[in-house]
Amino acid sequence: MIEPASDRVGLNHTRVNHNALQITSKQGKKMAWDWEKLNRQHQQHGGPPPQMDDVINQLKKFKPPGGSVLIVIVVLVLLIGYSIFFTIESGSVGVVQRFGKFVRIAEPGPNFKMPFGIEKVTKVRQDRVYKEEFGFQSDRNDYGGYTSASDTASISLMLTGDLNVAVVPWIVQYRIKDPYNYLFKVKDPNGLLRDLSESSMRLVVGDRSINEVISKRDEIAVEALQVLQKELDKAETGINVVTVEMKKTNVPEPVQPSFNEVNQATQEKEKMIYQAREDYNKAIPAAKGEAERTIKAAEGYSLDRINRAKGDAARFKDLYTEYAKAQNVTKRRLYLESLQELLPKISRKFIVDADQKNLLPLLNLGNNGGESK
């Protein structure tokens, strides 16, 4: 049977397409693909160029040597490459575990590990400041750290050293300084931090009065930080406390009016004590000065009297010595000297003859204001 020419051309055209898209291999290793050659063959046979649908259909029929084994191998290679390579960000470290056992610390940068879960990497941020709040819950995290929502109002209620109840809210900011201790030495480091922080704050507040708790918050915060850090180091938590910040401290709301009255009474008491001390500081120095002046005057008077007595005694001794030598002369001189000293002091003097017997007529002389010599 003789085929028509048109059928032969179409058959040849189909064979050309098939031959051009057919994968020829020498020992199953090479696929022939020559698009321009295919176009030339079609042009030589007068047919249209190959369509995209034909190409896609031929590609779907293509199977690589070895079948799905090669695909599995490629996927395994990609998985291995993905599982052995990891990157640690700046400010962080990677804790590497091999079958759950700690083996090393990975520093920031690209690192490698064993694949398929043999080694596991836990990233720990060491530059981040975490935060725990006690006795209150803030609406916004100003520190960029972790904020726990498990606080209750009872945490801030504390008994002071003078048996008063105070509301003491505070914040603890911390960093992770030892990733190994943080991950492996303590089961729940954050929970332990909260428990130790609360016990440390209660210990410090319990040694102070309510007024000290309200007015000396900075001192309490520093002391609480020292106590808390000591306990955290003892427990090997790997946590370094950055700061302890005391918020506004007050008494419970139901007793606030009574507490205000007590404060007013205390302030009034302190005011009166201050005024009393001021009066004391004024009166006592003045009294001490007056006493000192009186003592000095008495000492001066005593010294003057002693010196006078000594002078009179010395003068009397000298007179006695002269009297013993010439009694009459000394007696007359003493008499005259005494009169010389006394007479100028007498305003009215009456001189009477020693032989005068009757002095009555002379008594009226004083009435005239006259003076007789």
What residue has token string 């009016």? Answer: 257
What residues pair up with 246 in beta bridges, in sequence order? 170
- State the Cα–Cα distance between residues 340 and 334, nearest whole angstrom: 10
What residue has token string 């051309």? Answer: 9
Instruction: Using the Cα atoms of residue 69, residue 75, residue 77 and residue 80 in order, give the sign of their dihedral.
Output: negative
pLDDT in tens, the chain (373 residues): 334 433 433 434 444 344 433 433 333 333 444 445 555 655 555 555 556 566 556 555 555 555 577 777 777 777 777 778 888 899 899 999 999 899 999 999 988 888 877 889 999 999 999 999 998 877 654 444 444 444 567 888 999 998 888 999 999 999 999 999 999 999 999 999 999 999 999 999 999 998 899 989 999 999 999 999 999 999 999 999 999 999 988 888 888 888 788 888 988 999 999 999 999 998 999 999 999 999 999 999 999 999 999 998 998 888 888 888 888 888 888 888 888 888 888 887 777 777 777 665 555 555 554 444 4
pTM over 0.75: no
Confidence (pLDDT) at 15:
43
Phi, psi of 104 (to 5 degrees): -170, 170
Confidence (pLDDT) at 139:
61
Instruction: Using the Cα atoms of residue 319, residue 325, residue 328 and residue 329 in order, give the sign of their dihedral.
Output: negative
Q: Which two tokens stand for residue 48?
A: 């249209």
Specify the domain boundaries for CATH 3.30.479.30 within the chain. 130-251
**How far apart, in Å, do the first and last CA atoms of the chain sit?**
212
- State the Cα–Cα distance between residues 65 and 29, nearest whole angstrom: 7
- State the Cα–Cα distance between residues 33 and 10, nearest whole angstrom: 22
- Would you tell me the crossing angle of helices 5-21 and 52-61 to the nearest 10 degrees? 50
Strand 170-176 with 130-134, pairing = antiparallel
Note the Cα 182 to chain centre separation in Å. Answer: 24
Architecture of the domain whose range is 130-251: 2-Layer Sandwich (3.30)
Three-class HEC string of 99-150: CCEEEEEECCEEEECCCCCCEEEEEEECCCCEEEEECCCCCCCCCCCCCCCC
Q: Which two tokens stand for residue 85?
A: 């390579």
- State the Cα–Cα distance between residues 122 and 104, nearest whole angstrom: 11
Q: Which two tokens stand for residue 330?
A: 């000394």
